[in-house]
Amino acid sequence: MNNRRNFLKSGVLLATGMAVSAPLLAKPKKGRDPKFSGVIYTDEDTGMWAGKQDHHVPVVTVEGNSITLFTDHPMSEVHYIVRHTLVDKSGKVLGSKTFYPTDEKAVSRFTVPSEYHGKLYATSFCNKHDFWLKEFVV
Ligand SMILES: [Fe+2]
């Protein structure tokens, strides 16, 4: 599939008379899923929001089966964190919290089943800087 995509890119570029640039045809960085790059941002894949990750990627604290998410982001009428979600390894949403510009902080707390072990995904959505993801293991 990736070879076909690169072939198509090369063909389009050659047909338009443009030189094929190596970065355009480069494979995505390890850990990146290219179909979500530019849609979901992480510490490793900040895309067009480079430098914004410290205030958008949720900070995760695990205490037993209690998970706390915190996004160190200002909360104002025009710019704020809209929502947190916690998702398990099968894609099931374990919980979510919607925030309002009047909330002091973007903090949410969830409980995972005590028998759950494995990957979890914490998300944080900013009304200006899109959707951020933190993967972690419990
Ligand atoms: Fe933001």
The answer to whether the pTM exceeds 0.85 is: no
Same domain, 11 and 75: no
* CB-CB neighbours of 122 under 10 Å: 24
With a cut of 60, say whether residue 90 has pLDDT above it: yes
Q: Cα(111) to centroid of ligand 1, in Å?
A: 26
Q: Cα(123) to centroid of ligand 1, in Å?
A: 13
Same domain, 24 and 38: no
How does pLDDT run across 26-57, given as a tens digit for each residue? Answer: 344 555 677 788 899 999 999 999 999 999 99
Same domain, 42 and 10: no
Q: For the chain, list the strands marked E by DSSP.
A: 40-41, 59-63, 66-71, 81-88, 93-98, 106-111, 119-126, 130-137
Please give the residue range of the domain that contains residue 19: 1-30
Same domain, 15 and 66: no
Q: Give the CA count within 13 Å in the CB-facing half-sphere of 64.
A: 5
Q: Cα(121) to centroid of ligand 1, in Å?
A: 19
Same domain, 86 and 121: yes
CA distances in angstroms from 113 to 26, 64, 91, listed in the order given: 41, 10, 15
Same domain, 20 and 52: no
CATH number at residue 55: 2.60.40.730
Average pLDDT, the chain: 83
Q: Cα(79) to centroid of ligand 1, in Å?
A: 6
- What would the mean pLDDT of 59-66 be, rounded to a whole number? 96
Same domain, 21 and 64: no
* The two three-digit tokens of residue 5, written as one number: 């995509």
Q: Cα(29) to centroid of ligand 1, in Å?
A: 24
